[in-house]
Amino acid sequence: MKVLKFGGTSVANAQNIKLVLDIVQKQAHQEQLIVVVSALSKVTDLLQLASQKAASNDESYKEIVAEIEKKHLDTLKDFIPVGAQSGLLSHVKRIINHLETLLDGCFLLGELSPRTADTILSFGELLSSYIIAEALKQKLPTAGYKDSRELIKTNNNFGKAAVNFDQTNQLIVAYFASIDSPVVVMPGFIASTTDGINTTLGRGGSDYTAAILAGALEVAELEIWTDVNGMFTANPRIVKQAQPIATISYQEAMELSHFGAKVLYPPTIQPVLRKNIPILIKNTFEPEAEGTFISNNAVANGNPVKGISHIDNISLITLEGPGMIGVLGSSKRLFETLSQANVNVIFITQASSEHSICIGILNSDANVAEEAINKAFEIEIAQNKVAPCIVEKDLCIIALVGENMKNHQGLSGKMFSTLGKNNVNIRAIAQGASERNISAVINERDVKKALNTLHERFFEENTKQLNLFVMGVGNVGEKFIDQIKQQKKFLKENLKINLRVIALANSRKMLFDEEGIDLKSWQASLDQGQKADQQGFIQQVKELNLRNSIFVDITANESVSQTYAQYLRESVAVVTCNKIACSSAFDNYKNLKSLSRRYNAPFLFETNVGAGLPIIDTVKNLVASGDKVNKIQAVLSGSLNFIFNNFDANNSFHDVVKEAGVQGFTEPDPKIDLSGIDVARKILILIRESGYKMEIEDIENESFLPAECMATTNNEEFFKSLTQYASHFEGILAEANAKDSRLKFVAQFEDGKASVGLQFIPKDHPFYNLEGKDNIVLFYTDRYVDQPLLIKGAGAGAAVTASGIFADVIRIGNV
């Protein structure tokens, strides 16, 4: 014999009920079945609403009754031949009439007693079980029906009655010993007192009904049929990567169901646990799926954590004060007070000093609990021995669950460090002596990020999902996106990094997609996006609150650089090729570094100097290893190097600068490069990363541009001025040729002083043969004295800059 229970979604409508009937018919050929059914989907909620409206003298309860009647009559008509419908329809209408009479009474009296409420709520299961039994008889004429109220006996604690197992078990065993029907359909959730008064077993009680029957008859297996493929490693609606759990112990299942795993009602396990009857969670809509097998012999899969669950809408109440230290009975008084106020305690933690006790309860109980506790301890509060209780609302409890967690060291550390890295603030912690459960209270707004972060850490083979918010999709930005698209599969398979671009923005539009933007058609999608708004962009990043978030700035915009602190404070990493922030006021530079450390949010800007060259990283490693940078000589502008390498008697200065812009070597405003400010920013960043304090004003900038060129206000005027002053540039070139030298724009730092400017480089200098758009840096340190540490390579161009940004992103993924 086997017991099958089908939940509300499984019997939501005629189409779903047909699936249920197919499952029952198929199994009925193999063994005797008891089929327990819930009310049709949403009907219990409708009954509850109707009773509340009736009791508050709102006549709209009649409309709800009409809706309930239509729902059941339509369902019945789908299964029963027209010729056989008359008597069955009359039976359903008699039940509905009885329901309406009860509600009319509530309307006239203006009240709803717990006893009446139980009777009204019972109609959902009575109607659904009757209809399903009649539908089943069309396929299996010998199928039977039994009213659960005749077999399951309880006390009169209406709303959540306690079962009298001695009497109930006798009645169940006696009844099933007297019949030989291959299938018996029974309503779940409902029972009755010894006197025959209707009671209910609590919401989710249909699971409990099935377990009571299974335990009494000691069946081979209890099957719970629902709308998912078993119990999951986390809520699949919140964690998309959640996986079904193949096997799990009773204890683990109880922990997960207590902490919000909706597929199983917590009391369900008790009647079958005592008899060691396995439970199988199956999906009505995918009956061939494996499901979850719950027993005493759960198979270990090497992972000590079986699942991660949570409870929403939690309040934390803290009672503390010196008057509690060493005082016997404080905890007893607190919990007695809560019990008398009918407040259920979900979470408990107490300081070892006995100075405070912290409990977690539902938000809906918070006001009642606060009032009751303050009243119970009013004398101590008046004497300042105890403070009025502190109430924090809108919290959530998350829990790691696993039977074998006690045999693995460091799980708590992994849990809390993982949450900490993503700026999830932990308000309270509890861990039982069995170590089967580690619970933490967090802000409700962080629950999605916390669950996904923990799931990634414990269940996804160390695959790390990085969520990118990209601002700036010009030449470099476009190359960056192309590189992500090209390398996405490789990164996931080889580096266990899953890259998702969540947002894109340019100066006109911005686009967000929480599931990840399709990089095959991002341009078209961005064109259809919402109007660009820098603060709106930041706000959406905050509201999404995704784990491992990275803001990628691929602009040269000062206002964008001024937003970095806002991202870092939210534990959003910042990757940028924008040099303005790190070359701004020294205090701002230090503050960004400090925020990065404080909020555990990487702040990476390797492409600020040398595009894709590992220049900044090299400086960091030198300093970290105890070396000291004493002198820097560098050609740091790939664009200027390209310009002066191509400027000759055959190519005018104007034309070469134009070509540099076409090839993407200069900034959109080429004056930024030619003025020397870009190089000054770069050497300043290297100086600061070497451990020195310096401002941009301290760097001597020896400009080679005429003042009139510098005074232009747009690109058209600027290029016109280059033509007007062509003789000036030709004169510089002639002087270089006369000295048998080459023109290089050089940055220098030594003895606390820095400068940038155009220099004549002789043939014997390392910079002389620097070709194309290459950069070169010479570091003279305590260790590199006679021969400097030299870094040389391409220092400009969209592709190499994009690759440097990409490398910073990957570096974060490997942390």
Give me the DSSP letters along 224-270. EEESSSS-BSS-TTT-TT--B-SEEEHHHHHHHHHTT-TTS-GGGHH
- Whether 493 and 571 share a structural domain: yes
CATH of the domain at 650: 3.30.360.10
pLDDT tens profile 662-684:
887 887 888 888 999 999 999 99
pLDDT at 407: 67
d(CA 245, CA 293): 8
Residues 641 and 746: beta-carbon distance below 8 Å: no
Within the chain, how many helices (H) and strands (E) appear?
30, 30
- Whether 408 and 478 share a structural domain: no
CATH of the domain at 117: 3.40.1160.10
pLDDT at 173: 97
The alpha-helical segments, DSSP class H, found in 341-446 are 366-376, 378-382, 411-421
> In the predicted model, what is the mean pLDDT of residues 178-207?
92
| 298 within some domain | no
- Whether 90 and 119 share a structural domain: yes
Q: Is the pLDDT of residue 230 over 80?
A: yes
Q: Which amino acid is present at 671?
A: K
Q: Global pTM?
A: 0.74
Q: Which amino acid is present at 344?
A: N
> In the predicted model, what is the mean pLDDT of residues 213-227?
94
> In the predicted model, what is the mean pLDDT of residues 694-709?
94
- Whether 735 and 715 share a structural domain: yes
* CA distances in angstroms from 601 to 109, 423, 549, 554, 813, listed in the order given: 62, 9, 9, 18, 12
- Whether 513 and 455 share a structural domain: no
| 283 within some domain | no
| 181 within some domain | yes
Q: Is the pLDDT of residue 259 over 80?
A: no
Residue among 280, 263, 261 nearest 223 (CA): 280
> In the predicted model, what is the mean pLDDT of residues 455-462?
83
pLDDT at 261: 60
Q: Which amino acid is present at 121?
A: L
Q: Is the pLDDT of residue 328 over 80?
A: no
- Whether 636 and 778 share a structural domain: yes
Active site residue 720: no
d(CA 255, CA 475): 53
Candidate ranges 162-171, 306-315, 404-413; pick with highest mean pLDDT: 162-171
DSSP string, 717-743: HHHHHHHHTHHHHHHHHHHHHHTT-EE
| 281 within some domain | no
- Whether 80 and 96 share a structural domain: yes
Burial of 625 (0-12, 13-18, 19+ CB in 10 A): exposed
Which residue reads 């309270």 in tokens?
Answer: 428
The residue from 588, 611, 634 where one domain ends is 611
Query: Which DSSP letter does residue 166 get?
Result: H
Q: Which amino acid is present at 12?
A: A
- CA 581, distance to chain mean position in Å, is 30
144: its two tokens: 């039977």
- Whether 547 and 431 share a structural domain: no
| 232 within some domain | no
The residue from 170, 194, 226 where one domain ends is 226
> Count of residues for the chain?
815
| 801 within some domain | no
Q: Is the pLDDT of residue 85 over 70?
A: yes
pLDDT tens profile 340-396:
999 999 888 876 656 788 999 999 999 999 999 999 999 999 998 899 999 999 999
pLDDT at 375: 94
The alpha-helical segments, DSSP class H, found in 122-260 are 123-137, 165-177, 205-217, 250-258
- Whether 402 and 540 share a structural domain: no
Residues 814 and 495: beta-carbon distance below 8 Å: yes
Q: What DSSP element (H or E) covers 32?
A: none
- Whether 691 and 594 share a structural domain: no
- Whether 386 and 472 share a structural domain: no
Local structure of 172: helix, strand or coil: helix
- Whether 24 and 138 share a structural domain: yes
Local structure of 763: helix, strand or coil: coil
- The whole domain housing 442 covers 307-459
The residue from 546, 576, 611 where one domain ends is 611
- CA 159, distance to chain mean position in Å, is 35
CATH of the domain at 499: 3.40.50.720
Residue among 367, 207, 332 nearest 271 (CA): 207
Q: CB count, 10 Å around CB of 750?
A: 12
d(CA 764, CA 7): 85
331: its two tokens: 């905890």
Q: Is 436 left (phi over 0), alpha (psi -120 to 50) or beta?
A: alpha
Q: How many domains does the chain have?
A: 4
CATH of the domain at 443: 3.30.2130.10
| 761 within some domain | yes
Residues 262 and 315: beta-carbon distance below 8 Å: no
Query: Which DSSP letter does residue 298 get?
Result: P
> In the predicted model, what is the mean pLDDT of residues 314-336?
85
Q: Which residue of the set 53, 71, 682, 744 is catalytic?
A: 682
| 500 within some domain | yes
pLDDT at 666: 81
> In the predicted model, what is the mean pLDDT of residues 623-647?
93
